[in-house]
Structure 1
Amino acid sequence: MTEEAFAELLRANGARVFIVGGWVRDALRHVRPHDKDYMVSGIAEADFQQLFPAAQKVGHGFPVYLVSIDGSLSEVAFARKEKKEGRGYRGFRVSYDPSVTVEEDLYRRDTTMNSMALELPGKQLIDPYHGAQDVADKVIRAVSHHFTEDPVRALRAARQAAEFGFSITEETIRYMNACRAELQHEPQERIVAELRRALQSPRPSVFFRALEQADILAVTFPELSLLIGKTQPPEYHPEGDAWQHTMQVVDRAAERTPNIAARFAALVHDIGKGTTPKEMEPHHYGHELRGLEQLASWNRRVTLPKDWLRAGRFLIEQHMRAPLLERPGKIAALLLLVDKQRPVLSLADFNAVIEADHQSLPDYLVHGEALLAAMHGVSGKDAPSGLAGRAVGQWLAERQTAVLVKALAAVRARA
């Protein structure tokens, strides 16, 4: 069924049909919209079912139907009103009878840029809360106090600021702060989902800084909030405390790699500085070990994706020593260890985080792929026939190191 036929059938039966949500916002942002969602008003659910008997009903708190429109399964929801009666995003009483208007439906939504609709068939913009102007001004603004009724909206506003490069109004920041208490009881998978999308953004730091501004960082990502105020030697870190450094590093890493696990590793590489004893500051001796403890604590509180954990652990362990290695055996061992992290973390991903942290790379990492290729030219099968067990491993390590020395010398001679 075409979109035109879908709309005309509903209109012929007294209903109104709208495109809603992110598709409208993204069209106004002049970026390619993705999933197109529809909303209908002025029709009872039973009558809709009669018109579209093949539609598949999904959703629990309120009915959503999947309808094939223009060759894709699209979500079609009924205009609805919500009344907060319990805690969290499930604590709503929903009404969706034919009397609910489009304006009432849009009023319950989170921000003005997400509270617009295009009425079909002519795609007339319905914008009672001036979302189009806020999109033009690159502003995230809560529609009303109903923003606070789903606490994860606070994270969504921060994440969309990072995704779109928008600012958040002061009133909306206050609404985000009002979500603080309920955020502590939200399902952690919802918070991790927002974190994932924030890490996919061009500047993930915007997400975390917005949470800090709203004073909800400590209840969502307490391990990161501990970095605030942790002093560092100014000769090495003119940017400021461990928090400022971490925000810089995660943004630099995002510029260098699209790998979300690598970006997460950049986020947590210095997480151990959050528990450095005050008397030790501005130095952070042993923060790698404390970082592993903090990451484990985070994972006990929230089950983190396995690839994030693996990448995070590896960068916490290696980010300080990687730029300092000089002995060929140590360099060979680290390159081979990095190679074993694939496909979670490639050498390019590892380099992205190291360079984001130190703003330079040692030459053995710059030319790491060529050095690895040379070392992989030797295998245990080449060992002398009289060797066995550990002796083969020792022989292989020595041969690979010798190959690396020769290859690295050639690289440096060309430099």
Structure 2
Amino acid sequence: MTTSTFDTTQHPRGADGRWVTTGAGESDADLSTHPVILGLVDIPEPVDAALDTLRAAGMRPVLVGGSVRDALLDPDLKPKDLDFELYGARSPAEVARLLGPHGRIDEVGVSFGVIKLTVPDGDGTHDIDLTLPRTDSKVGEGHRGFAVTTDPDLSFEEASARRDFTINAIMWDPDTGELIDPHGGADDLQAGTLRHVSDAFDDDPLRVLRGVQFAARFDMEMAAETIQRCRTLAPTYDQLAAERVWGELDKVFTRGVRPSRALEALEQTGWLKHFPELDATRSTPQDPVWHPEGDVYTHLGLSADEAASRADADGLSPDRRAVVVAATLLHDVGKVTHTQHQPDGRITSHGHAEAGEQPTHELLTRLGAPKTLTTSVTALVREHMNHQGVGKDARPSIGAVRRLQRRLDASGTNLSEWSIVVAADAAGRGPGAKSDPSQVWLEVAAEHQVTQRPAPRLLTGRHLIGTGMKPGPGFKSVLADAELAQDNGEFDDEAGALAWFAARG
């Protein structure tokens, strides 16, 4: 093998934003060799001290997996998870003994050749995993049905063959700066290609869904041979527990820069059939006047991409980003049952927003999504057409805005998140993209100082009791009418609420 040194200062990234592979003094560097990239990943000093102890004992810790992949995509990233493959170690017990003085050892994974170390650093800690080179043999169903054999003499190529995709099998030695890439993962990373490493890919069907979320997160496409491999695994979907499925799909919503890539991957691999609510949208047409982009399936992907971009621009936290992206990806599933061809040739889908509530809830529940997310997403799907109650160029009443706000708040979401879904729906139509119809709603909310949370009720049960009214079934009706009157602006303080009640008679 040859060694070349990469000048990452002069050639950090290409015009397309991907990592440049040109080495110092050469072009089109062969990434199957061991180029040197010093400082690719920042190793915290306490962690490096622990690694030095292992090096002194004749071991070679090399970083592998997501932290290497992510650093090649963006050198400014500071990875939180550091996973090392540890060559030259004879036993996990030996490694645990050497690392003991450096932090807390978690021996849960020792039987699998994995040592977990928590290293203190000032007020915080660093969690690192060290795995002895190993081979995994499938002996039963599920992700636990493996026999693990550690072997300190395995080659880099043999040890990394058990990994899922080539982009996750790239190694980097923090001591020498060598990039070790026996399966061509760096080339695939640059090309935007997801390619499985070996036949071991078949051992866990969850790897298909990992590919789905990687496609969305990194805007990548699956290699043809990997697509075919995934298609053969489609019948094994039922082996996956819901929590494992959601663990991967959640990353589409929290991190996916192009969620439409996830839909594309599900369709290509034959896995979309396991998500029937989405699968049915492929054959659901839309009126070309309003949706020249094509069927509902196409619209959902384009809209979800828009929602991801807008959520990031607004700085949403991962959990709230997941809500708006998931809601946008599912916002029109109700069209499957509510699309009609009219005699004049038009295609309509009246009532599809409300009709989408049940299939959205059923799909997310089946996938193991958190109840709080499911409740918020379902509400956004139900309410995403609410703006159509206002004519073109007209403004909603403050009462309409406040009532929408209360309904959203009751489901754990708000006007800002609703606005992203509505805007993404309007923009996700290809050449038929529309302006954002939610903005006028936000303008009215701002003019009337409507905050993220609804105003507290000004008339309460305490007030009714104070007037001599006895608690009973009539309370609920009065309080509901009072809330509506308050939202419509008929009163705006406690005195006004009491006057409204007195006038009610």
Same fold (TM over 0.5): yes
Q: Deviations over 1:105-127 (max 9, x none)?
A: 11111111111212352132211
- Structure 1 residues 312 and 68, CA gap change in structure 2 (3 angstroms): closer
CA distance in 2, matches of 1:164, 1:284: 34
CA RMSD of aligned residues (A): 3.1
Q: Which residue in the other structure is 2:409 paired with?
A: 340
Matched-pair contact (CA < 8 Å) for 1:112–1:134? yes
Q: Deviations over 1:241-274 (max 9, x none)?
A: 1111211221222222232112211122211223
CA distance in 1, matches of 2:382, 2:85: 50
Q: Please list, as runs of the form range in 1=range in 2, the aligned pairs for 1:188-337 lying within 5 A after superposition.
A: 188-200=242-254, 201-219=256-274, 221-257=275-311, 258=316, 259=320, 260-276=322-338, 282-325=347-390, 328=397, 331-332=400-401, 334-337=403-406
How many residues are matched? 403
**SS of match in other structure, 2:334:** helix
- Structure 1 residues 55 and 242, CA gap change in structure 2 (3 angstroms): same
- Structure 1 residues 4 and 349, CA gap change in structure 2 (3 angstroms): closer
Name which of 448, 470, 487 aligns with 1:400. Answer: 487
Amino acid at match of 1:37: D
1:212 CA drift (Å): 0.8
1:70 CA drift (Å): 7.5
- Structure 1 residues 60 and 152, CA gap change in structure 2 (3 angstroms): farther
Q: Which residue in the other structure is 1:59 paired with?
A: 109
Q: Which residue in the other structure is 1:410 paired with?
A: none
1:128 CA drift (Å): 1.0
- Structure 1 residues 138 and 339, CA gap change in structure 2 (3 angstroms): closer
CA distance in 1, matches of 2:288, 2:307: 22
CA distance in 2, matches of 1:9, 1:399: 69
Matched-pair contact (CA < 8 Å) for 2:365–2:374? no
**SS of match in other structure, 2:202:** helix
- Structure 1 residues 299 and 61, CA gap change in structure 2 (3 angstroms): farther
Q: Which residue in the other structure is 2:202 paired with?
A: 148
Q: Which residue in the other structure is 2:458 paired with?
A: 379
Amino acid at match of 2:94: D
- Structure 1 residues 83 and 252, CA gap change in structure 2 (3 angstroms): same
Q: Deviations over 1:325-380 (max 9, x none)?
A: 477486145334246247x3221111111122234225234432443539949822
Q: Which is worse superposed, 302-311 or 76-85?
A: 302-311
Matched-pair contact (CA < 8 Å) for 2:221–2:261? no
1:191 CA drift (Å): 1.3
1:63 CA drift (Å): 3.4
Q: Deviations over 1:157-204 (max 9, x none)?
A: 221122112232111211222221112221111111111111122221
1:61 CA drift (Å): 6.1
Matched-pair contact (CA < 8 Å) for 1:242–1:270? yes
Q: Which residue in the other structure is 1:22 paired with?
A: 66
Matched-pair contact (CA < 8 Å) for 2:331–2:381? yes
Matched-pair contact (CA < 8 Å) for 1:347–1:369? no
Percent of residue pairs bearing the same amino acid type: 28
Matched-pair contact (CA < 8 Å) for 1:17–1:39? yes
**SS of match in other structure, 2:283:** coil
- Structure 1 residues 240 and 118, CA gap change in structure 2 (3 angstroms): same
1:4 CA drift (Å): 4.2
1:41 partnered with 2:87: yes
CA distance in 2, matches of 1:4, 1:321: 56
CA distance in 1, matches of 2:480, 2:361: 32
Q: Deviations over 1:54-82 (max 9, x none)?
A: 53212376132222457323111111111
Unpaired segments ≥5 residues, structure 2:
1-44, 427-433, 470-474, 492-505
Matched-pair contact (CA < 8 Å) for 1:87–1:182? no
- Structure 1 residues 206 and 403, CA gap change in structure 2 (3 angstroms): farther
Amino acid at match of 1:361: P
CA distance in 2, matches of 1:268, 1:297: 12
Amino acid at match of 1:95: T
CA distance in 2, matches of 1:181, 1:278: 33
CA distance in 1, matches of 2:250, 2:442: 28
Name which of 358, 361, 366 aligns with 2:437. Answer: 361
Amino acid at match of 1:283: T
CA distance in 1, matches of 2:301, 2:151: 47
